[in-house]
């Protein structure tokens, strides 16, 4: 998708044509129901303020109260079509033909130094006919409801005039990046369905629901929907961009480009998870000054790390801390070779009298000696060194950072003599038959010199939110076992599992997000799609990969013939047969290529349309409008259309608008600094050339069109190329003003006279699972009257493989591979229970 610039636990909601992220709840009131929020002294003496809410009355009862604070600040229903607002002893009436029973209407009451304006459904219905006195001082409770029958949603109180921009946020929820967030007195989404009381998102004025008040899921408000806010990223951008945590919280659908395809139809994930399984050994908390180590106990001991470890196509490095308790001739520090040693690679101990370390590659030995000893920690490394020099310089051996060359073996001048062959399907092992301790074992698919290996002795690079690491370095990281996890000593830090777990940690304490993987193309993928057998293989591989994630995405660039699109459609049919219905499945067409026939469209949850670069035309507002018309004419359903903006740019252009041969870049490179203004869609880069972008205002407008046309949502490429979310011109922040991600905290309890939200934190209790082992359907029993709310299943790598909202005490696990799992159940009252089970 991103071919022009690819340098390289969650709660799901109801379906509204796509997969909504969290449920939108409203407050539902009977005529006797209300919610009491107690005193709000912040309202006292305000002459400028804003009140906003959605209402849908079941019955129109004249005099019914929408909200009130005593008798001097309230809103009531008048005659049908009228709302009466009271401020002090003054009354104003707003009228609209849209105010009828059974219909949602949004009301915004603005007051600017006593001058009122009222909008209903974004139309001005009352303007400057009187001057209001300030809100009187009062200690009366603020109450929503009182004779009102129906639903109320998105209730907001502001202590200032809300500027009349961003469509008054009428089609969107709010987050902390809203420019006037600090001016909110109280904000009620009514979405915290597990909390007994109504949560104020300003953490000050929570409410108590009286009898006749409850929450109800909203499925009938076409203008106010929780839409898809998708963000694309890649592992390389995760390494080198230090994407801030807030950027993740502005995405409810995180899509990671990380699945690669082959011409035989098979798929694989970059950065394989080379999880270690230990025999005759295990975790040790401390040994001779090093903490978190792998302890191996001699004959029969090993850590098996799978076939994904050590598969270089050229140079490579292995390094580790090792403490040999005994010298065992023939035991292996590392092994990945055929039984006869004629193919693959191993590193073993030779004779004790010479302290030999022997690297064997495809049956040829390279020997180093007298450096590795017993009885102390030594940092040991082996690295390919020379392609065309002498035998001795084919491999570099390092001991505590000092480098030495090996002797004897196949001459380094023999082409690729250092590259192990035939090991792709052989499971590698560490420490086989050794009585030893290991710490920080690393495999690089690159060669490091002695200084590089020495630097690794003190620290090894691990990506994170506040780190910028060179992508080329991290791309070379094949495996890293630091042995620091007592429950999982063989955890691979340089794996997609760990990288995704780091990304997932940005959502800790939040719900309402999905993490999916995207599949990229290969040379000749059009021919792969044309082959019926390869389509089946592709679908089988994709379904297997999807077991670990919330869904998958296809990102093939692009079909240019109808035959290609028809083969693409046939692939979608095969995927539909195998992909679980609880998995989100998207396909990414482009403005220049989108010719999928309508007969295949129902197999996809939604389409992430690329309407940007590298040509300047793709960044124009007129192109965006034309794209919408083209896609709908083609037959794409509106509720499956996810439109887009970009944080990358066009190619560069000179002052005369002639295209230059300079690749796109990211707006993060100073393009939104200096003289930039929000209306600019063409900017100058540091070289004095011009770039076209989807600028700040255009980004918001693109999202607003999604609301106006009632489409599924918005996406962007990519997370790593935006400025920081805190930057005043962050494009992703501009997008969130139009389509908020609704990634939400899960609140189970609040103090009603509060200063903050209080969470219930309890150690998970155990539940009964039967049968166990289980083949197809498991049943579980909770304590007392507890009722399930969210069911999750985790594999031994900590990945969530099932996540669904249900009330039944049974779960189909037929799609899971055989093995051990953890069942985790969140109940309707906020309790958490878990237990292990075996699928056979």
Does residue 410 carry a pLDDT above 60? no
pLDDT value of residue 833: 81
Q: Which of 4-18, 214-228, 241-255, 729-743 has the lowest mean pLDDT?
A: 4-18
Alpha-carbon distance of 498 to 464, in angstroms, equals 11
pLDDT value of residue 62: 97
Does residue 19 carry a pLDDT above 80? no
Alpha-carbon distance of 821 to 769, in angstroms, equals 12
Mean pLDDT of the residues in the chain: 91
**Across residues 495-499, what is the average pLDDT?**
96
Cβ-contact 112, 26 below 8 angstroms: no
Rounded (10°) CA dihedral 684, 690, 694, 696: 20
Q: At what angle do helices 731-738 and 696-709 cross, to 10 degrees?
A: 30
pLDDT in tens, 168-225: 999 999 999 999 999 999 999 999 988 999 999 998 999 999 999 999 999 999 999 9
Q: Which of 220-229, 378-387, 521-530 has the lowest mean pLDDT?
A: 378-387
pLDDT in tens, 523-567: 999 999 999 999 999 999 999 999 999 999 999 988 999 999 999
Indicate the burial class of 160 (C-beta count within 10 angstroms; 0-12, 13-18, 19 or more). middle
Q: Give the predicted TM-score (pTM) of the model.
A: 0.87
Does residue 759 carry a pLDDT above 60? no
318: its two tokens: 């292995």
pLDDT value of residue 764: 53
Domains and CATH numbers, the chain: 3-9+227-266+500-744 (3.20.20.80), 25-217 (2.60.120.200), 281-486 (2.60.120.200), 762-839 (2.60.40.3080)
pLDDT value of residue 206: 96
Helix, strand, coil percentages in the chain from 3-state DSSP, rounded to 5: 15, 35, 50
Quick one: CA dihedral 660, 666, 671, 676, positive or negative? positive
pLDDT value of residue 763: 46
Does residue 250 carry a pLDDT above 50? yes
């Amino acid at each position: 998708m991103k071919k022009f610039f690819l340098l390289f636990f969650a709660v799901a909601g109801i379906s509204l044509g796509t997969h909504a992220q969290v449920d939108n709840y409203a407050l539902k009131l009977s005529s006797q129901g209300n919610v009491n929020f107690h005193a709000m002294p912040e309202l006292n003496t305000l002459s400028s303020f804003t009140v906003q809410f959605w209402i849908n009355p079941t019955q129109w009862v004249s005099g019914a109260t929408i909200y009130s604070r005593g008798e001097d600040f309230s809103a009531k229903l008048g005659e049908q079509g009228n709302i009466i607002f009271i401020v002090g002893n003054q009354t104003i009436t707003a009228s609209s033909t849209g105010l009828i029973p059974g219909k949602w209407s949004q009301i915004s009451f603005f007051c600017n130094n006593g001058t009122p304006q009222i909008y209903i459904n974004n139309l001005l219905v009352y303007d400057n006919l009187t001057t209001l006195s300030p809100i009187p001082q009062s200690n009366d409770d603020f109450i929503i409801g009182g004779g009102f029958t129906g639903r109320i949603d998105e209730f907001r109180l502001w202590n200032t005039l809300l500027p009349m921009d961003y469509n008054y946020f009428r089609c969107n929820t709010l987050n902390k990046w809203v420019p006037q967030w600090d001016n909110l007195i109280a904000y009620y989404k009514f979405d915290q369905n597990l909390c007994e009381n109504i949560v104020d998102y300003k953490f000050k004025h929570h409410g108590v629901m009286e009898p006749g008040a409850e929450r109800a899921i909203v499925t009938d408000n076409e203008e106010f929907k929780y839409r898809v806010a998708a963000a694309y990223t890649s592992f390389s951008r995760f390494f080198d961009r230090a994407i801030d945590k807030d950027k993740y919280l502005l995405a409810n659908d995180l899509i990671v480009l990380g699945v690669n395809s082959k011409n035989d139809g098979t798929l694989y994930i970059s950065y394989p998870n080379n999880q270690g399984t230990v025999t005759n050994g295990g975790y040790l908390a401390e040994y001779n000054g090093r903490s978190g180590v792998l302890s191996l106990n001699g004959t029969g001991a090993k850590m098996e790390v799978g076939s994904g470890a050590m598969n270089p196509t050229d140079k490579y490095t292995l390094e580790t801390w090792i403490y040999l308790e005994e010298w065992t001739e023939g035991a292996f520090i590392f092994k990945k070779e055929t039984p006869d040693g004629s193919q693959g690679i191993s590193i073993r101990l030779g004779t004790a009298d010479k302290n030999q370390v022997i690297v064997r590659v495809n049956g040829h030995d390279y020997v180093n000696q007298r450096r590795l000893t017993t009885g102390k920690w030594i940092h040991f490394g082996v690295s390919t060194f020379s392609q065309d020099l002498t035998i001795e310089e084919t491999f570099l051996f390092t001991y505590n950072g000092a480098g030495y060359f090996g002797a004897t073996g196949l001459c380094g001048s023999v082409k690729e003599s250092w590259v192990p062959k035939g090991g792709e399907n052989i499971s590698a092992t560490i420490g086989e038959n050794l009585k030893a301790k290991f710490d920080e074992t690393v495999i690089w698919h690159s060669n490091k010199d002695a200084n590089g290996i020495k630097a690794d002795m003190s620290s090894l690079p691990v990506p994170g939110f506040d780190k910028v690491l060179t992508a080329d370095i991290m791309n070379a990281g094949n495996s890293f076992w630091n042995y620091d996890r007592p429950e999982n000593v063989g955890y691979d830090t340089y794996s997609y599992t760990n990288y995704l777990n780091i990304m997932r940690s940005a959502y800790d304490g939040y719900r309402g997000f999905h993490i999916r993987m995207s599949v990229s193309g290969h040379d000749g993928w059009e021919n792969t799609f044309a082959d019926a057998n390869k389509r089946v293989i592709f679908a089988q591989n994709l379904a297997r990969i999807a077991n670990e994630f919330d869904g998958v995405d296809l990102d093939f660039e692009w079909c240019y013939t109808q035959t290609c699109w028809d083969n693409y459609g046939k692939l979608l049919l095969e995927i539909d047969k195998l992909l679980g219905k609880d998995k989100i499945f998207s396909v990414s067409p482009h403005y220049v290529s989108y010719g999928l026939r309508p007969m295949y469209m129902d197999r996809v949850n939604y389409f992430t349309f690329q309407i940007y670069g590298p040509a300047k035309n793709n960044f124009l507002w007129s192109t965006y409008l034309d794209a919408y018309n083209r896609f709908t004419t083609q037959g794409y359903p509106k509720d499956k259309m996810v439109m887009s903006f970009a944080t990358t740019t066009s190619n560069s252009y000179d002052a005369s608008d002639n295209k230059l041969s300079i690749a796109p870049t990211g707006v993060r490179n100073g393009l939104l600094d200096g003289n930039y203004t929000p209306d600019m869609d063409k900017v100058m880069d540091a070289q004095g050339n011009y770039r076209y972008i989807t600028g700040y205002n255009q980004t918001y407008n693109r999202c607003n069109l999604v609301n106006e046309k009632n489409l599924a949502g918005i996406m962007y490429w990519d997370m790593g190329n935006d400025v920081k979310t805190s930057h005043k011109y962050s494009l992703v922040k501009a997008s969130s003003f139009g389509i908020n991600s609704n990634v939400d905290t899960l609140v189970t309890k609040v103090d009603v006279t509060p200063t903050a939200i209080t969470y219930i934190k309890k150690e998970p209790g155990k539940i009964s699972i039967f049968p166990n082992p289980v083949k197809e359907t498991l049943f579980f029993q909770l304590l007392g009257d507890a009722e399930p709310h969210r069911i999750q299943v985790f594999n031994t790598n900590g990945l969530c493989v099932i996540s669904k909202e249900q009330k039944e005490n049974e779960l189909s696990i037929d799609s899971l591979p055989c093995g051990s799992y953890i069942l985790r159940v969140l109940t309707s009252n906020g309790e958490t229970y878990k237990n292990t089970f075996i699928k056979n």
